[in-house]
Structure 1
Amino acid sequence: MKYFRSLSTVAVVLSISATSAYSENAVLPGEGSFTKFGETDGWTVFVDVQRQSCLIERVDAEANVVQMGLTSDHKLGYLGVFSKTADLGNGGKEDIFVDLDGVMYTSQATKMRKNLTDGYAGGYILANNPQFIEDLAKKYTMTVFPEEEQSFVVDLAGTYKAMEMARACNAEQN
């Protein structure tokens, strides 16, 4: 198994398919100022004005959210999963396994409820493994296995194009 490390710096989010029921602002986290940069293949790219970086977000029909982006120092990538229906507890860390089309990764996820849009709970991991980030961009299905909660599947369609748009967005922020 390959390994990517978790650090508690920035919150992010994961999910499945897009919906247009949301405004120009990112759904999560609840703090910060987000402006829409663009859309591609079911993903929305936002500028996090406070952190001067960009993130991608996808929201499914059940209002689950996936976000991926860079930490405020632009040194690590982050990935998070947030839901209105999951009982993910508050704070703390738990082991998590992520399967990307048959390639398994493991890490520790940091759970959170504070600073999120009302009704959401979830957690995030930070990635320091370039192969993990490449696999996120190029694989098609992500299955997440939290230690205590039920596993779930995330459709990664369009992730590569969304990450490319986020890279262009980040270049404009510097």
Structure 2
Amino acid sequence: MIEFSMRKAALAAFCATFASASNAQGNTVEGWTILRHNESGACVMEKVNEDGYLFRIGKTEAGGRFEYVAVYTKDKDVKLYGNVAKKVEIDMDGLRFPAKATGDLRDDGYRGAYVKTDDPAFSEALARKYVLTVDPDSKTPFAISLDGTFKAMAATSDCEAESMAASTVSDDSKRGELEAAAQASWASLLGQNERAKEMSESATAALVFPKVTKAGLGIGAETGNGVLYEGDVSTGYYRTSSVAVGALAGVQTYGYAIMFMSDDALAKFKSKKGYELGVDGSIAVIEAGATAKVDTTNIKADTVAFVFDEKGLMASAAVEGSRIKPIN
């Protein structure tokens, strides 16, 4: 157990520059609160420990890699100097990173310092490791629990994707680009795959995500925007996200279409603010390589999914567990 006086001495070695995420909605994941700044759209994750220290993990810009780790306190006895830098060493479960800590004095009463790095392995370690220790070989090491960071980092990226998705559909030209891409993907799927064409004739509606992109190293999040079609009419815009369970190994982008096989299945989907495939309704994923002709009378699932890339239908690409939310 590190004594409080030791924590004071080491505090200046580790914190973040992100100003307080004002006017943001908070969502707690694994003990970390996810905050989004309304103006920039950037999201950060933070938590306060039993001693009142605020820990924060953040980014330089929305959609980028996690680069900042911070510790703040309101203890006025802690001696800190704004913008004064000091070399430190970061240990995460035995993995060492040399770094530079810079003091940060905020206007809201919090005082601390931050470490910024461009090393992608640092982001990976933040997501995968359990304890971060500053200057582990010194007399005043400072340890931070990384419990729950993997899911919280994915939620932070999801938070930013939601913000960017809302911006996309609020812009007429970008909304037009999304609809054009969705229509092209849908036409390509039906034109290249007889099974998809046959099932579309029985479907009540289709939700098409033309491009789902893996967000980055370490966090594992995948996001994309899509359009819901009822007949030939687009009736809504949606965002999909998952924790890197959808794409094949090495695949950075893919798309998928969901067909709702009954009015009840569509109504159930539209009634929810957040819909999880395979949980809120049954789903059958039709894979490439299936040789048997699809008998639509034997499909018992609420929804049927086809996953594809620029080469056509993909094999063994799971979308179960993906979360779908309307874009407001």
TM norm. shorter chain > 0.5: yes
The answer as to whether partners of 2:63 and 2:157 remain within 8 angstroms in 1 is no
Q: Distance in 1 between matches of 2:148 and 2:23?
A: 21
**Runs of 5+ unmatched residues, structure 2:** 1-15, 165-328
Cα-to-partner distance string for 1:131-156 (whole Å, 9 max, x where unaligned): 1101011100010129x993211111
Q: State yes or no: 1:170 paired with 2:160.
A: yes
* Matched residue SS, 1:35: coil
* Matched residue SS, 2:24: strand
Q: State yes or no: 1:92 paired with 2:81.
A: no
Q: State yes or no: 1:152 paired with 2:115.
A: no
Alpha-carbon spacing, 1:112–1:154, altered in 2? closer, same or farther (3 Å): same
Q: State yes or no: 1:111 paired with 2:103.
A: yes
Q: Distance in 1 between matches of 2:125 and 2:28?
A: 21
Higher relative contact order (CA 8 A, sep 6+): 1
Bigger CA radius of gyration: 2
Q: Distance in 1 between matches of 2:23 and 2:87?
A: 30
Partner of 1:11: 17
Alpha-carbon spacing, 1:91–1:138, altered in 2? closer, same or farther (3 Å): same
Alpha-carbon spacing, 1:162–1:170, altered in 2? closer, same or farther (3 Å): same
Q: What is the 5 A alignment of 1:29-108?
A: 29-30=19-20, 33-72=22-61, 74-76=63-65, 77-85=67-75, 86-108=78-100
Q: Distance in 2 between matches of 1:145 and 1:65?
A: 19
State how many pairs are aligned.
Answer: 146
Partner of 1:141: 131
Cα-to-partner distance string for 1:97-146 (whole Å, 9 max, x where unaligned): 1100001101111111133x21x211112221111101011100010129
Answer 1 or 2: which has greater helix percent. 2
Q: Distance in 1 between matches of 2:44 and 2:86?
A: 24
The answer as to whether partners of 1:63 and 1:83 remain within 8 angstroms in 2 is yes
Q: State yes or no: 1:161 paired with 2:151.
A: yes
Q: State yes or no: 1:125 paired with 2:115.
A: yes
Q: What is the aligned-residue RMSD (CA, Å)?
A: 2.4
**Runs of 5+ unmatched residues, structure 1:** 1-9, 13-28
| Superposition TM-score, scaled by structure 2 size | 0.41
Answer 1 or 2: which has greater strand percent. 1
Cα-to-partner distance string for 1:76-100 (whole Å, 9 max, x where unaligned): 5211111234323333111111100
Cα-to-partner distance string for 1:60-81 (whole Å, 9 max, x where unaligned): 1111011112113654521111
The answer as to whether partners of 1:33 and 1:50 remain within 8 angstroms in 2 is no
| Superposition TM-score, scaled by structure 1 size | 0.74
* Matched residue SS, 2:88: strand
Displacement over 6 Å in runs of 4+: none
Alpha-carbon spacing, 1:163–1:75, altered in 2? closer, same or farther (3 Å): closer
Comparing 98-107 with 81-90, which one deviates more in the overlay? 81-90
Letter in 1 for 2:94: G
Q: Distance in 2 between matches of 1:57 and 1:164?
A: 13
The answer as to whether partners of 1:101 and 1:142 remain within 8 angstroms in 2 is yes
Partner of 1:25: none
Alpha-carbon spacing, 1:74–1:167, altered in 2? closer, same or farther (3 Å): closer
Letter in 2 for 1:90: G
